[in-house]
Amino acid sequence: MIVALEVEYPSLWSRPIIRAVDTDIFRLLYFRRCLACGFCKDQCCNHGVDIDAANVERLLALGDGFESYIGLPKSEWFARELTEDDEFPSRRHLRTQTRNGKCVFHARSGRGCAIHAWSLDNGLDYHALKPMVSVLFPLTFEKGALVPSSEIVDGELVCAASGDTLYDGVRSELAWYFGGGLVRELDGIRNSVTSQ
């Protein structure tokens, strides 16, 4: 069920703006300790991901050290087609390419996201570099609503059905992008939904 929020919550980049929430995010479960998982083989990285155009520019500006870390030339990182989308901070996004059945930013050796790992290794905040869609997964934003990602709804995510709720798994990330007010309101909705 989609519930309208009391106020609008723009991200720190002014977009996306969250105006509603699908209450399924308080019920649906997933195994959130991603790198502790031994059964999924980073399934969520099998596809490219939508990434804001300004985020693309930040990654391209990182220089040769980051390009070497990724192991592919910058020219192979992103699809060429730019998509107009008012929900993204710059109102435009690209899609990351895939390589060997994984996102080009999947760690070449080991597990997880190379952008995330590189940021931590270099004392940078991954929020500025990693696609927001990836950080919030398995939640996403759609037409102003915070909703479960399609992989959860379709039942194709192997880590679904046990563990933490989708909301609890990314609660701190939502606070980083949208502020404490959103989290406080969502906490209240969660408490109401789970007490029924």
Question: pLDDT digits over 80-121, tens only?
Answer: 999 999 999 999 999 999 998 889 999 877 778 999 999 999
Alpha carbon distances (Å) from 163 to 40, 49, 147, 186: 14, 24, 18, 19
Number of domains in the chain: 1
pLDDT score of 37: 55
Q: What percent of the chain has a predicted confidence (pLDDT) above 70?
A: 89
Structure tokens at 125: 């905040």
State the angle between helix axes of 180-194 and 166-178 in degrees (0 to 180), rounded to the nearest 10: 160
Percent helix, strand and coil across the chain, each to the nearest 5 = 40, 25, 40
Domain extent at residue 82: 2-194
Question: pLDDT digits over 11-46, tens only?
Answer: 999 999 999 999 999 999 876 656 545 655 666 667
pTM (two decimals): 0.91
Alpha carbon distances (Å) from 152 to 24, 28, 33, 58, 157: 10, 8, 16, 30, 6
Question: pLDDT digits over 141-191, tens only?
Answer: 999 999 999 887 787 766 566 678 999 999 999 999 999 999 999 999 999
pLDDT score of 167: 97
What average pLDDT does this structure show over 121-140?
Answer: 95
